[in-house]
Chain A
Amino acid sequence: MGKLTIPQEELMNSGHIGCLGCGGTLAMRYLLKALGKRTMITIPACCIAIMSGIYPRNFLKVPLLDVAFETTAASASGIRAALDAKGIDDVYVVGFGGDGGTADIGIQALSGTAERGDNIIYVMYDNEAYMNTGIQRSGATPFGAWTTTTPVGTTGDFKKRPKKNMVEIMVAHDIPYAATASVAYPEDFVKKVMKAKDMDGTKFFHVFSPCPTGWRYSPEMTIQIGVLAFQTTVFPMYEVENGVYRVTKKPAKRKPVADYLKLQGRFKHLDDETIKIIQKNVDRNWEMLLAKAEFTKKFAE
């Protein structure tokens, strides 16, 4: 059986200014490997926007347009329209935003782009909070997490609502392809990008991107955390092609969520009762995902 090899060409320069162990930078690196040189990318305010350091440095070898926080998708649509107007049809257009820029402030523009079906690739690298501004909660912050705006305090004021499910929201837009991926599994991510990149319409990737600074763990554990998120099914790996769900990678045996939570300072306040609630939610979501895969099978073309 042929093995997928990740393209060797680096389209991201070394020497970026991200934190040690930053998951987000890996998401960018693998994405560009999968897409190649003929790619244009637009990045809103977020950690990745400042990876170049300061003007006139640039951390990417592809054209890059920094855009306002909430405009990633609309900007990608604008680039695509300009390329269409010029008759250029061999360039991938990417919007690359954080969870805050995607699930919160940029969701309107993204919804517009997806509804119109503009031919772009949207990547949400998810570090589960507003990291660039110093770890404030976002709509993608998970239940139970500490952030600087859910500071726990003496009243147990951690985040009390679950993470917004962006893949579901995007699937509801009837787009050709939406998938999760993780920087801990680059082959899976690259394979998905290669599969979807030439589909017509809006393609969406939700990339799990652990953040040592915001999640309060030691930088060398980024991949381990990603692996545990997968093994516990806190963050399952799946794709949705034209409404048909497929789990692309299943853990041999599911580990308890506590294994994942206990490595991160942002969950250290959680008592056993709360961890039980989290386990229950993760179980339920996993079963629902399997059921969706089973149920939608018959709609595969």
Chain B
Amino acid sequence: MPMDVMTGNSAQAYGAKLARAEVVAAYPITPQTTVVEKLADLVASGEMKAQFIKVESEHSAMAACIAASATGARAYTATAAHGLALMHEMLIWAAGSRLPIVMGNINRAMAPPWSVWADYQDSIAERDTGWMQFYCQSSQEVLDTVIQAYKVAENHDVLIPAMVMEDAFYLSHTFEPVDVPPQKDVDDFLPPYDPPVKLDVDNPVGLCALVPPDHYMEFRFKIAKAMEDSRKVIQEVDEEWEKKFGRSHGGLVERYRMEDADAAIIAAGTMSSTARVAIDNMRDKGKKVGLARLRVFRPFPYEEIRQIAKEVDSIGVLDRSYTFGHGGAFYTETAGALYQAPERPHVKNYVIGIGGRDIPPKDIEGILEKVLTKEDGGEVEWFGLRTSGSREVN
């Protein structure tokens, strides 16, 4: 199989190409721009057979993807931060229309103050829109996940859209070796999109009409159900991928050195790679620590998290965003999942790496020490603030 060296953003574009996306509608924003440029090149060179609508905004990008998908085409877009926020209305529209659109989102901090660096506030703020959310840690995972995401989203038990996240610059602009699977193998894995209903002049239907209270609730319940059912499909698709291409990305939660661990951290994205280095260092010192990487945040893998709770006495949850009012979202969801668990370990939230602040292994080692000793003093700690080191907020 051909090995290539590419950025996370190229991996997004090649993922869309290998998935044979038929309509691309996208608008540039740092650090996503090279996805758009790469796709434009792929289309212009004839390597990719797609209609590329060079829209005038992200809002229109998602509107066009929705309409294209409703007409039966496989649709792709990518964005970041303000672009994602501008799409907000249309994200809910896409999920409400039950359209399996796949979108790359390059996690970037929201302004003001302006920042172009890694932060999850953009996608966390879209948590409740009805999109599946995958957080990737390598270019390889980005490419594979774009293709997997179509297979999951287009499953008739699912039919909800999916976001494939990568960290600004850490992943979007860093070159890594990537195995690019042959098109025919991807075609075997991912058949053409077969919508249960679409706009068709030979079978005219009206989509997205007005629904009164005696029906709306069922429409919403069906999205909730689809999101629940997607768990199994995500797992199966990743397993099928592993059989065919020889690598798994862990389904919903990827575990690292969790065997016999006393304490674990929960993290997502590129900081998980750093965490693995930190964990290896700690393990070398005889400290039994492990990592549970949240690959999927929507649907939230509460069962996997409860399993981890059974295995360890202490968990530190690392959030690269904050939901003003109380804690990071990974933390509050973890804590929420654990309330119903038979075993409830000690849990603490570390808010870290906000706005792309570097997270060196020693910081994660420091957190792991605290997690191991169940160091108390508040639920939520902003780790590594310049002013006074660490600050507990509550």
Contacts and interface: CB of A to CB of B under 8 A. Distances in A.
Interface stretch (B55-63, B152-160, B163-171): B55-63
A112 interface: yes
A81 B204 contact: no
A199 to B, nearest CB: 20
A79 B71 CA distance: 6
Contacts of A70: 59
A34 to B, nearest CB: 16
Interface string B13-54: 000000000110100000000000000000000000111011
Contact of A40 (B23, B25, B201, B209): B201
Contact of B67 (A55, A78, A111): A78
Contacts of A60: 204, 206
Nearest to A40: B199
Contact of B204 (A63, A78, A118): A63
Interface stretch (A84-92, A121-129, A186-194, A236-244): A84-92
Contacts, number: 156
Given A86-B73, A91-B201, A112-B56, A67 B66 contact: yes
Interface stretch (B210-218, B337-345, B379-387): B210-218
A271 B208 CA distance: 46
Given A49-B210, A67-B63, A38 B201 contact: yes
A54 B201 contact: no
Interface residues of B, number: 42
Given A61-B204, A116-B53, 7 more contacts: A42-B67, A52-B209, A54-B210, A63-B199, A64-B207, A81-B68, A109-B59
A230 B259 CA distance: 82
24 contacts: A38-B201, A42-B67, A56-B209, A63-B200, A64-B204, A65-B70, A65-B199, A65-B207, A66-B207, A68-B63, A71-B59, A71-B90, A74-B60, A77-B64, A78-B64, A78-B65, A79-B68, A81-B23, A81-B73, A83-B71, A84-B51, A85-B68, A112-B55, A112-B57
Contact of A111 (B56, B75, B204): B56
A169 B3 CA distance: 51
B200 A109 contact: no
Contact of A78 (B50, B59, B66, B208): B66
Interface residues of A, number: 46
Contacts of B89: 68
A67 B59 contact: no
Contacts of B53: 77-78, 81, 116, 118
A297 B201 CA distance: 39
Interface in A109-154: 109, 111-112, 115-116, 118
Given A40-B199, A63-B204, A115 B210 contact: no
A82 B22 contact: yes
Nearest to A44: B63
B211 A54 contact: yes
B215 to A, nearest CB: 6
Contacts of B55: 74, 77, 112
A39 B201 contact: yes
B205 A58 contact: yes
Contacts of B65: 78
Contact of B71 (A40, A66, A111): A40
Contacts of B361: none
A134 to B, nearest CB: 16
B181 interface: no
Interface in B370-386: none
Closest 5 pairs (CB-CB, A-B): A78-B67, A112-B56, A78-B64, A82-B71, A71-B63
A76 interface: yes
Contacts of A77: 25, 53, 55, 60, 64, 67
B93 interface: yes
Interface string A26-59: 0000000000011110100000011011111110
B212 A78 contact: no
A69 B32 CA distance: 27
A209 interface: no
Contacts of B200: 63
B250 interface: no
Contacts of B70: 65, 78-79, 82
A58 B206 contact: yes
Interface in B251-293: none
Contact of A85 (B22, B199, B211): B22
A75 B199 contact: no
Contacts of A57: 209
A78 B201 CA distance: 16
A55 B215 contact: yes
A144 to B, nearest CB: 33
Contacts of B49: 85
A74 B60 CA distance: 5
Contacts of A73: 60
Contacts of B201: 37-40, 62-63, 91
A79 B64 CA distance: 7
A63 B70 CA distance: 11
Contacts of A112: 55-57, 60
A15 B49 CA distance: 44
B199 A81 contact: no
A108 interface: yes
B56 A52 contact: no
Contact of A58 (B75, B90, B209): B209
